[in-house]
Amino acid sequence: MNEDPPVLYFDLDGTLLDIREKYHRLHRRIATDLGRDPLPRSVFWARKRRGATLEALLPDWEEAARREYARRWLGEVELPLYTRFDRLVPGARHALVRLAREFELVLITLRRDGRELRRQLRDMGLDQLFSRLLVSGDYGGAELTKTQLLSLNDPPEKRRSIVIGDTEEDVSAARAMRAPVIVVLTGMRDRAFLAALSPDLIIESVAQLPAALRVSPQLPAAGRRHLKAGLP
């Protein structure tokens, strides 16, 4: 009997989608509505990629204004008004098509609006590439972590698997299920931040993933922990 293929769990925002324009447009809108000067795009993203808390992102704002900013952000970031600015990371679809020949591809995301998510995937031609979608919003609005979302769907170590993402949340989920984790530099965190988390592999973007898995052919089966640098 043939062995089931390894599973690749993909994060969405920042890993497969370039969210830089969406995030900064929303930041500008909320800041302007609250009578504040928006951060320049370069400053906004430099702070976000260093893992800044909301207090560190907006240090000159009073606490009440930061709370309103956070409330508005959660309520609006998934609206079509902003998701229309999402773009596929260059080479992402081609990489997924190649990987789907050898792996089962599963999307795992903390998006709250599953309907809008599925519309995006259809419009981008990604929906048929994933065998399953693990979406936080499919669980009645529960504030789930990715670790919890995985535990509800896939028992730890059920199959060989790898998590691919761009934040500490993805690393934490991989560690909980004792799976290797590969992080990309196209998203929410910069290299220094991600390196401090000791992922198994750091690559520039998901476009490099097929080559990375060829270079490290035992990664799906062995769960190697000592690869901390990206490809040369």
pLDDT digits (tens, 9 = 90+) for 70-121: 999 999 999 999 999 999 999 999 999 999 999 999 999 999 999 999 999 9
Looking at 77-176, list the stretches that DSSP marks H as alpha helix, in order from N- to C-terminal side: 80-83, 92-99, 114-123, 146-153, 168-176
How does residue 141 score in pLDDT terms, banded at 50, 70 and 90? low
230: Cβ contacts below 8 Å, ≥ 6 apart: 185, 201, 202, 203, 204, 208
**35, 62, 83: which is the final residue of a domain?**
83
Mean local confidence (pLDDT), 45-58: 97
Cα dihedral 206, 146, 86, 230 in deg (nearest 10):
-20
8 Å CB contact between 230 and 204:
yes
Please tell me whether residues 11 and 40 are part of one structural domain: no
**Same-domain status, 49 and 71:** yes
Average pLDDT over residues 25-48: 98
* pLDDT band of 228, cuts 50, 70, 90: very low
Quick one: 101 and 165 in the same domain? yes
Banded model confidence at residue 220, pLDDT cuts 50, 70, 90: very low
Residue 72 belongs to domain spanning = 20-83
pLDDT at 166: 98
Domain membership flag for residue 227? no
Helix, strand, coil percentages in the chain from 3-state DSSP, rounded to 5: 45, 15, 40
Query: What pLDDT, on the 0 to 100 scale, is given for residue 151?
Result: 85
DSSP string, 9-59: EE--BTTTEE-HHHHHHHHHHHHHHTT-PPPPHHHHHHHHHTT--HHHHST
pLDDT surpassing 90 at residue 152: no
Last residue of a domain, one of 39, 67, 83: 83
| 25 shares its domain with 50 | yes
109 and 70 inside one domain: no
Together in a domain, 77 and 32: yes
List pLDDT tens digits, range 124-136: 999 999 999 999 9
pLDDT of 123 reads 96
Same domain, 55 and 140: no
- What is the arithmetic mean of pLDDT over 141-153? 85
Instruction: State the pLDDT at residue 232.
Output: 30
Of 2-16, 33-47, 90-104, 188-202, least confident by mean pLDDT is 2-16
Does the residue 185 lie in any domain?
Answer: yes
Where a domain ends, among 30, 65, 83? 83
| 229 belongs to a structural domain | no
* pLDDT at 157 exceeding the cut of 60: no
Range 174-178 average pLDDT: 91
Mean pLDDT of the chain: 89
Is there a single domain that holds both residue 128 and residue 196?
yes
Mean pLDDT within 193-206: 96
- Are residues 120 and 39 both part of a single domain? no
Domain total of the chain: 2
Assigned domain for 172 exists: yes
Beta-strand pair 17-18/181-184: unpaired
Domain match, 52 and 152 both: no
- Does 42 lie in the same domain as 107? no
Residue 208 lies in a domain: yes
Task: Work out the pLDDT band at 160, boundaries 50, 70, 90.
Answer: confident
pLDDT value for 2: 56
pLDDT value of position 33? 98
Task: Verify that 207 and 122 share a domain, yes or no.
Answer: yes
Is residue 2 domain-resident?
no
Domain containing residue 122: CATH number: 3.40.50.1000
